[in-house]
Amino acid sequence: MGGMMDGTRRQRRGDTRQRIQDEALELFAEHGYEKTSLREIAERLNVTKAAVYYHFRTKEEILVSIFEDFSHPIEELIAWGKRQRSSLETKQEILRRYGDMLASAAPFFRFMQDNGAAVKELRIGEMFRSRMHDLRDIIIDSEALLVDQVRCVSALFALHAGVFVLEELDGDPEVKHKAILKVATDLVVQAHGAQQVPSPSHSVAVPCSCERTVPVSG
């Protein structure tokens, strides 16, 4: 995953706006968002503050632009998910794609984790919550058992936790990424497999995990 991010950075080096984003994110991660200034970003790039100001008027503009670049694939995934039939296969594919996005954007999401108080007060905090709500609404079914709704939402949390928790563990990044995805997928599979046991003499509605209830004859 680190190699993926390094490759992306090399491709972005020729674009001043994107170089500003890259260096700003590094400084935000190193010193914290609130303690980083536009002057320090300019010095890291070896350009004038005016050169940075030409592209971004404030630190928040830089941060919002980084988030918007990373969130475009998430918005496309949300749009795709809304067009699909609610099924286990759809949810598994959403988890796989979203997991890949988190892995490629790990430095940004680690920054958000480490600067939670500052992010909460910025526009990207609400923007991020809105996208998470959209993913949540796709991956759960409001008619499912509550425990299964929790399992499905927890699958998303598992992907997020993996970005931060497994960073400190030894092991090949790709193997760790696959382990995170398996845990998340297992939660959704478990939710889809749970159901109430019908009475042998009555017709009942069985709440199938993350799917609509299905009439079953006793």
Please list, in sequence order, all residues whose beta carbon lies within 8 angstroms of the beta carbon of residue 193, skipping any fewer than 6 positions away.
209
- The structure tokens 């760790």 sit at 176
- The structure tokens 């017709």 sit at 203
Q: For the segment 84-129, what is each residue's pLDDT rounded down to a tens digit?
A: 988 999 999 999 999 998 888 888 887 887 777 777 777 787 888 8
Contact 144, 195 (CB under 8 A): no
Contact 167, 173 (CB under 8 A): no
Please list, in sequence order, all residues whose beta carbon lies within 8 angstroms of the beta carbon of residue 51, skipping any fewer than 6 positions away.
16, 42, 45
Say if residue 214's pLDDT is above 50.
no
DSSP H or E segment with residue 206: strand 204-206
DSSP H or E segment with residue 214: strand 214-216
pTM of the full structure: 0.71
Average pLDDT, the chain: 80
The confidence band for 194, taking pLDDT boundaries of 50, 70 and 90, is low
- The structure tokens 């496309």 sit at 76
Handedness of CA 66, 9, 28, 44 (dihedral sign): negative
